[in-house]
Amino acid sequence: MARGAVRNFETALGAIGVLALIITAIIITGWNPLPNITDWWDKVADSTGKLSTPDTAWTDRVGGQPSSAVIAGTAAIVSMRGTVEGRALTDGKVLWTKEADWAGVAGDGGSVVAIVGRRGTGLEALDPVSGQPRWSDHDAVGAWTYREHVLTIACGGLSDCTLTARSPKDGAPIWKLTLPGIGRVLNGINSDLLGTEVKADAYRDAINAMPRPIPAMLGFPIEQKVKIVDTGRGKVLREDGASNTSRVVVAGGRELVSTASPKDGNCRYSLEARDPSNGKTLWKKDGYDLHTASGAGCEQRRDPAGADTVLIATRGDNREVFLSPRDGREMWAGAEGDEIVTADSQYGLVRSNGGKTLSVVGFEKGGRLWQQEVPAKADVAVSRYAVLVRDTAGGKLTAYAPDSGRVLLEAKTTSDVLGIGDHGLMVGRGRTIGYLAYA
């Protein structure tokens, strides 16, 4: 064997020996190097302190990995594991910090509050700027946050719980009701209910953290059934169950039953809307796939995509449509090759031309409002303030006004979007965050 080959062989054996020693040390001591490696990489990635071009108004390093940074007036509510803090949008100054097991944001305009919960002590609603408590519910084990209401749930016993609708601004009770059999499974912040699911790809956490309008009715999952609650009157309307091939959700003030039955190797779909007060069928459509089923047995495993007032479906001729859950009408139907991406209560996003053309559909006016050429694999999302397009490969982020397509922001960045506001975005990379104002 040549001398060089011997030297290479010995070097390889040495490297294997070192690796074996490291693995042995990990096994014996239980030492986990991943957090240290992750923290080191965060520091390297954040060493420049620059999150985008143009620059953010400020950058700062937070104590943990942020999951969201909701813009609330002149402050940003930054949520991390075990901690929530308020920061000034102007300079990033820490306004207040609270320990939290779960946290969210509720209200709108001057009524916005940060909801901070801790196990065993309930929750507090904090002023987003001062951090001072506006109100509290010491018995609450969970909450759902909306623009108009905060729903808190308190469980005195092992099963029955009390659901209370409160005003976000001062916590004044609007109504209360008992939910038998709910137990403590729906604790924490914004536990999943039986309704529609927001499709937001890379922006999921930022979109879901924004308070949305409260639906007229909500579906609470209790013991394999759904309890339908009228959120205006605080009344349980009815309880219903599903089967292996059907799924019951609540949207648009209707109880929706999506059925997928296996036949000839495919799934046959039907959709029925019932009056939640009496179970009477209001409308029914065959051949509309809400993409809730999967597998050879057409098992229903997912909630339909869309918003409370709009469903995303594929009809029998493979055209994708926005469907009204209230009356079953097609709010908009795509042409061949159109792919519906996502929707909120006002706008829907559609891709065509192999994904290279993005169109915005307005549900109030109807039809396409505007369209824009985008990279075929760009991540897109829609919110009340902006349509976001992020070209990961090109490192570019663009924000458009949802109603007109006017460019709000163009930035070179690989940062994540943590929060979306009417005047700018909260962005972050690793543990470094900053505020990126619209032009």
Q: How far is CA 45 from CA 80, 428, 429, in A?
A: 19, 11, 8
Q: Which CB contacts under 8 angstroms, 24+ apart, belong to 225-230?
A: 226/194, 226/250, 226/255, 227/179, 227/182, 228/255, 228/276, 229/163, 229/177, 229/179, 230/276
Q: Identify the pLDDT of residue 45.
A: 42
Phi, psi of 6 (to 5 degrees): -60, -45
- Each residue of 189-204: pLDDT tens digit? 999 999 999 888 789 9
Which segments in the chain show pLDDT lower than 50? 1, 4-6, 8-9, 11-12, 15, 18, 34-47
Q: Identify the pLDDT of residue 180.
A: 80
Tokens of 348: 């829907």
Nearest residue to 97 via CA among 119, 75, 74: 75
Q: How far is CA 375 from CA 181, 347, 380, 394, in A?
A: 49, 20, 10, 9
Tokens of 94: 């820490």
CB 415 within 8 A of CB 427: yes
**Both ends of the chain: CA-CA distance in Å?**
67
CB 118 within 8 A of CB 84: no
Q: Identify the pLDDT of residue 23.
A: 57
Please give the radius of gyration of the chain, using alpha carbons only, rounded to the nearest integer.
25
Tokens of 39: 């923290």
**pTM of the predicted model as reported, rounded to 2 decimal places:** 0.86
- Which residues 6+ apart lie within 8 Å of 437 measured at CB? 57, 423, 424
Nearest residue to 383 via CA among 173, 236, 211: 211
What whole-number distance in Å separates Cα of residue 147 and Cα of residue 243? 34
- Each residue of 234-256: pLDDT tens digit? 999 999 987 878 899 999 999 99
What whole-number distance in Å separates Cα of residue 247 and Cα of residue 220? 13
